[in-house]
Structure 1
Amino acid sequence: MRLRTFLRGARDELPLLIAVMPFGVIYGVTALEAGLTKFQAQSMSYIIFGGSSQFVASKLFAESIPWSVITLTVVMVNLRHMLYSASVAPYLKELPFGWKALLSYLLTDEAYAVVISYYQKEREERYDHMYFLGAGLILWLTWQMSTAMGIFLGKMLPSDWPLDFFLPLTFIAILVPSLNNYPSIIAALTAGICSMLFFGFPYKLGLIAAALVGMTGGFVLDLRRSRS
Structure 2
Amino acid sequence: MHTSYEHHIFQRTFPVCLALIPIGFLFGILAGQQGLNLISVLLLSIFGFTGSGQFIFLGFYQDHFLKIGYFTAFLIILSMNIRYIPMTLTTIPAKAYPKSLMLYSHLLSDESFAVEKITDDYATHFKIRIYVFLTWVLSTIAGQMLSAFIPKEIIGLLNISFPIAATLFTLSLLNIQSKYINRKSIKLLILFLLNLLLFMIIGANLFWLPAIIVNYFFLKSFK
Q: Shared fold (TM-score greater than 0.5)?
A: yes
Residues 36 and 15 of structure 1, relative CA distance in 2, 3 Å threshold:
same
Counterpart of 1:37? 37
| Distance in 2 of aligned mates of 1:134 and 1:222 | 28
TM-score by length of 1: 0.73
Residues 67 and 171 of structure 1, relative CA distance in 2, 3 Å threshold:
farther
| Contact 1:8-1:131 within 8 A present in 2 as well | no
Counterpart of 1:139? 132
2:192 to 163, 185, 195: 185
Counterpart of 2:101? 100
The yes-or-no answer on 1:129 pairing with 2:110 is: no
Residues 3 and 103 of structure 1, relative CA distance in 2, 3 Å threshold:
farther
Counterpart of 1:204? none
Moved more, 131-140 or 3-12: 3-12
TM-score by length of 2: 0.74
Q: What amino acid sits opposite 1:77 in the alignment?
A: M
Q: What's the CA shift for 1:6?
A: 3.8
Q: CA-to-partner distance for each residue in 1:172-192, whole Å, 9 max, x for gaps?
A: 321344355245524553565
| Distance in 2 of aligned mates of 1:2 and 1:103 | 22
Q: What's the CA shift for 1:20?
A: 0.6
| Distance in 2 of aligned mates of 1:183 and 1:86 | 23
| Contact 1:6-1:131 within 8 A present in 2 as well | no
Counterpart of 1:26? 26
Q: What's the CA shift for 1:140?
A: 1.6
Counterpart of 1:83? 86
In structure 1, stretches of 5+ residues that fail to align are 199-206
| Contact 1:107-1:136 within 8 A present in 2 as well | yes
In structure 2, stretches of 5+ residues that fail to align are 177-187
| Distance in 1 of aligned mates of 2:21 and 2:198 | 26
Q: What's the CA shift for 1:104?
A: 1.5
Q: CA-to-partner distance for each residue in 1:189-222, whole Å, 9 max, x for gaps?
A: 3565578x67xxxxxxxx3x34346557x46x94
Structure 1 stretches (4+) deviating beyond 6 angstroms?
none
| Contact 2:33-2:148 within 8 A present in 1 as well | no
Q: What's the CA shift for 1:3?
A: 5.2
Residues 212 and 152 of structure 1, relative CA distance in 2, 3 Å threshold:
same
| Contact 1:6-1:132 within 8 A present in 2 as well | no
| Distance in 2 of aligned mates of 1:40 and 1:133 | 26
Residues 187 and 99 of structure 1, relative CA distance in 2, 3 Å threshold:
farther
The yes-or-no answer on 1:57 pairing with 2:43 is: no
Aligned residues: 203
